Structure 1
Amino acid sequence: MKTTNKRAAYVGCLGMISIISTEFGVIGILPQLAEFYGINIDTAGYLLSAFALIIALTGPFIVLYTSRFDRKKMMLLAILIFVASNFLSALAPPYWVLILLRVLPSFLHPVFISISIATAIDNAAKEFQPRLMSIVIGGIAVAQVTIIPLSTYISGTFNWTASYIVQGTISLIATVAVYFLLPSTSLKVEKSIGLQTSILKYKPFILSIITNCLIIAAWFSTYGYFAEYLSKTRGLNEREISYMLFLFGVMGVISNFLAGKLLSKNLTNTTVLFLFGTILLPLLFTFSDKSIYTTAGIVCIWGIMYGPCFLTTLAYVLSAAPDAKEFANSIQISSGNLGVTLGTVVSGLFIGQYTATMAPWIGAAFGVTAMGFIFWRSLIEKRSATINISETLNDTTIHN
């Protein structure tokens, strides 16, 4: 493995930590934001869903368009917008301005991820590419262990604006790393746009994209309201919630490592195994006592089952598009963020109408639906394999 590839992978990981901290860091401070701006928790949830919706709607098109530009310049532009967004948000602007500041960096979010992965694996041997990709994607788990719970802890100790300063500082550090450690290169377009977009006609790929959206929606129905759920149903304060977020993230890192090994053995079964957690979670919360120790145990299981969701869905989608991984990756990012929007909006509506206890059950409904689409894709692929075997046998018979 080349030193330049490893360096690019770790720079991409640091950048991933910064942008994921910005995207999901708001989860731990939603109750404070709702109180500060005098709005309902479901309205505050738009800060998460609006960010994700922009990525879902524009991601693939912007990735294709920006593929002609210098990688380093695009990464710097993307990360600098995150820096500005965080520090300006720390000024506690009017709510509509806060929404706007959330939306602006989301346009280049998928560009940064796609370029980070492309730069890390550029000219690397195929056997090393998955390891390099896992380093970049690992930034998600690291952010969940460190910056997101730290932001929640700091907001509870000081106020919610302090969490934006932390996120902005991390983005600033990532900017320095990109500027000094990455070379200036153009993104090589190995396949035509027409060839890459042709995968949109492939039914297993379409089913995989829908499954990806539903899996992420299933998890974010509850994770999107992590702080709200634990405070309202378990009576935890901001500091205790930050501890739970840290515990949640640690379990996610461990399960990511485990999922990486299991995925190489059986992709579909591993995806279903961790997805089963969306059904298990509401049962655990409903039929258990509300002590902090029991809650911590459930959060551990929650983190283990949720942790690999981005890794398993990425692998599941790319397995249906081996000849167009770049475009498939951008579609996966967009559909995943559509899932974030879908999960938080639907769950927010039920929370607003009823109580926070509804959130895990909404996640379970999305999870069961996702399993249905996984089964559907498996049936199509088995049927296609059977047809191919029959055609091969017929050709052999004719030639004999």
Structure 2
Amino acid sequence: MKKYAYIGCLGFIAVITTEFGVIGILPQIAEHYHIGIDKAGWLLSAFALIIAVTGPFMTLLMSGFDRRKVMLAAISIFLFTAVISAMSPPFWLLMLVRILPAFLQPVYIATALSVAISGSEKKQANQLMGIVFIGVALAMVTTVPFATWLASVWFWESSFIVQAAVSTLALCIIYFLLPAMPVTEKKSYKSQLKILTKPTFVISTLMNFFMITAWFSTYSYFADYLNKAKGMDSTMVSYMLFLFGIIGVFSNWVAGKMLSWSVPKTTALFLSGTVLMPFLLYFSGNNMTMNIISIAIWGFLYSPSFQNASTYMISSVPDSLEFANSLATSFGNLGVTLGTTLGGWMIVFKGAAYNPWIGLAFGILAFLMIILRSILEKKAEKEKIILPCS
């Protein structure tokens, strides 16, 4: 039902606004707390690390609970985090409250996707999941750049006020419009853990990890990169985030359609950006027109990355959607952690201009995983043909 997909999408906007809303204000946070940009980056990477470590276990643990209650509990924690963060607490407390919602983020995403496709035909599943994932792009075009702009003209804590407002709206919509959705048939832990023994799923997981690492080595420091490597001020950065997000909404819609045609080819097409962008950003130099074009292309190729990664992983184990998606979220966020960490080190030791080249290296590794999975699947297909004949 599309109604449930749009509700899931709104909650996803709240989730992404909280996780990535700090990207545009990391320089201001670093200045306020008198810390380095690499340390401030841990507000993003620690969040992602908690998801990576606990995501699959939390999803398994919550898999038997009413889906509506799970979604309400998750968004409530996001709201609590935003309210406390807006009070500019000591950095250790800001870090602590930042990681609290990370425990339930993959649970929310897996549950929202499951709710979105409940009762739908199989051929509509990718499209409905695409609607939920559009929440990522919508956050990038609305709440994230708005929060960054507001912080640039007011004060950095206002970014968290925006996060609190979005979480409140999502909480109300889920409470009033989503009916109770108890789980009627809970799968055993053993049946869900079985997917970890499938080589194609393991390879798909590595592809996800390498791809997200590639993108986030630069994207995590979007504001700092554009400021230091491209000479843009905070206001211009907020405009670039807005452009990035607008292109991303369209991009997610295109990706949703293309995934119904071919999951591997669609994933590979958008992954090509990790190889293309370092060259585009390098040769665009400080030419504003070329930089705007480059950022638009960047937004188009980056934005469906989580949608593509999840769909690519689920396509190897279609009967284990929730657990497979939680692993996609988990390893994707492990990629966010590694990408953010490597990006921070690169800024400290070499300079922000070198960050996209980290993406090139990990993008190539991700392409190798796609090729390896394709080889294994073709080999398995040949064995299926030979066995009946023999």
- Range into which the TM-score falls when normalised by the shorter chain: over 0.9
- CA 1:258–1:135: 2 relative to 1, 3 Å: closer
Deviation at 1:131, TM superposition (A): 2.6
Contact 1:213 1:336 in 2 (8 A): yes
Deviation at 1:19, TM superposition (A): 0.8
Q: Secondary structure at the match of 2:354?
A: helix
Give the match for residue 243 of structure 2.
Answer: 247
Task: Kindly indicate whether residue 337 of structure 2 is the aligned counterpart of residue 341 of structure 1.
Answer: yes
Of 333, 351, 357 in structure 1, the residue corresponding to residue 353 of structure 2 is 357
Q: Secondary structure at the match of 2:246?
A: helix
- CA 1:362–1:62: 2 relative to 1, 3 Å: same
Q: What is the rounded CA distance, in whole Å, between the counterparts of 1:63 and 1:271 in structure 2?
A: 25
Considering only CA atoms, is the larger Rg found in Structure 1 or Structure 2?
1
Number of aligned positions between the proteins: 390
Task: Kindly indicate whether residue 195 of structure 2 is the aligned counterpart of residue 218 of structure 1.
Answer: no
Give the match for residue 304 of structure 1.
Answer: 300
Q: Secondary structure at the match of 1:160?
A: coil
Contact 1:7 1:181 in 2 (8 A): no
Q: What is the rounded CA distance, in whole Å, between the counterparts of 2:347 and 2:323 in structure 1?
A: 36
Amino acid at match of 1:265: W
Task: Kindly indicate whether residue 159 of structure 2 is the aligned counterpart of residue 163 of structure 1.
Answer: yes
281-290 or 258-267, larger mean C-alpha shift? 258-267
Give the match for residue 72 of structure 1.
Answer: 68
- CA 1:108–1:264: 2 relative to 1, 3 Å: same
Q: What is the rounded CA distance, in whole Å, between the counterparts of 1:200 and 1:68 in structure 2?
A: 21
Q: What is the rounded CA distance, in whole Å, between the counterparts of 1:77 and 1:95 in structure 2?
A: 25
Contact 2:123 2:260 in 1 (8 A): no
Q: What is the rounded CA distance, in whole Å, between the counterparts of 2:81 and 2:128 in structure 1?
A: 29
CA RMSD of aligned residues (A): 1.3
Give the match for residue 58 of structure 1.
Answer: 54
Q: Secondary structure at the match of 2:208?
A: helix
Task: Kindly indicate whether residue 228 of structure 2 is the aligned counterpart of residue 264 of structure 1.
Answer: no
Of 89, 114, 131 in structure 1, the residue corresponding to residue 127 of structure 2 is 131
Deviation at 1:301, TM superposition (A): 0.8
Amino acid at match of 1:172: T
Of 362, 367, 372 in structure 1, the residue corresponding to residue 368 of structure 2 is 372
Q: Secondary structure at the match of 2:318?
A: coil
Give the match for residue 398 of structure 1.
Answer: none
Of 81, 84, 87 in structure 1, the residue corresponding to residue 83 of structure 2 is 87
Structure 2 residue runs without a partner (length 5+): none
Amino acid at match of 2:302: Y
Q: Secondary structure at the match of 1:234?
A: coil
- CA 1:120–1:188: 2 relative to 1, 3 Å: farther
Within 5 A, what are the aligned runs for 1:275-354?
275-354=271-350
Give the match for residue 24 of structure 2.
Answer: 28
Residues 50-99 of structure 1, C-alpha deviations (whole Å, 9 max, x = no match): 00110111111111111222222222111111111111101111111110
Query: TM-score, with normalisation over the residues of structure 1?
Result: 0.95
Q: What is the rounded CA distance, in whole Å, between the counterparts of 1:179 and 1:233 in structure 2?
A: 45
182-191 or 344-353, larger mean C-alpha shift? 182-191
Deviation at 1:190, TM superposition (A): 4.8
365-374 or 282-291, larger mean C-alpha shift? 282-291
Contact 1:86 1:168 in 2 (8 A): yes
Q: Secondary structure at the match of 1:69?
A: coil
Amino acid at match of 1:11: I
Task: Kindly indicate whether residue 102 of structure 2 is the aligned counterpart of residue 109 of structure 1.
Answer: no
Q: What is the rounded CA distance, in whole Å, between the counterparts of 1:65 and 1:189 in structure 2?
A: 14
Contact 1:60 1:330 in 2 (8 A): yes
Q: What is the rounded CA distance, in whole Å, between the counterparts of 1:264 and 1:70 in structure 2?
A: 29
Amino acid at match of 1:176: C
Task: Kindly indicate whether residue 178 of structure 2 is the aligned counterpart of residue 199 of structure 1.
Answer: no
Q: What is the rounded CA distance, in whole Å, between the counterparts of 2:192 and 2:90 in structure 1?
A: 42
Q: Secondary structure at the match of 2:331?
A: helix
Contact 1:117 1:133 in 2 (8 A): yes
Deviation at 1:124, TM superposition (A): 2.5
Q: What is the rounded CA distance, in whole Å, between the counterparts of 2:138 and 2:75 in structure 1?
A: 18
Q: What is the rounded CA distance, in whole Å, between the counterparts of 2:313 and 2:369 in structure 1?
A: 13
Query: TM-score, with normalisation over the residues of structure 2?
Result: 0.97
Contact 2:127 2:256 in 1 (8 A): no
- CA 1:172–1:156: 2 relative to 1, 3 Å: same
Q: What is the rounded CA distance, in whole Å, between the counterparts of 1:67 and 1:96 in structure 2?
A: 32
Residues 16-43 of structure 1, C-alpha deviations (whole Å, 9 max, x = no match): 0001100011111111111111111111
Task: Kindly indicate whether residue 95 of structure 2 is the aligned counterpart of residue 99 of structure 1.
Answer: yes
Deviation at 1:351, TM superposition (A): 1.4
Q: What is the rounded CA distance, in whole Å, between the counterparts of 2:227 and 2:175 in structure 1?
A: 41
Task: Kindly indicate whether residue 385 of structure 2 is the aligned counterpart of residue 386 of structure 1.
Answer: no
5-14 or 74-83, larger mean C-alpha shift? 5-14
Task: Kindly indicate whether residue 141 of structure 2 is the aligned counterpart of residue 145 of structure 1.
Answer: yes
Contact 2:64 2:186 in 1 (8 A): no
Contact 1:9 1:132 in 2 (8 A): yes
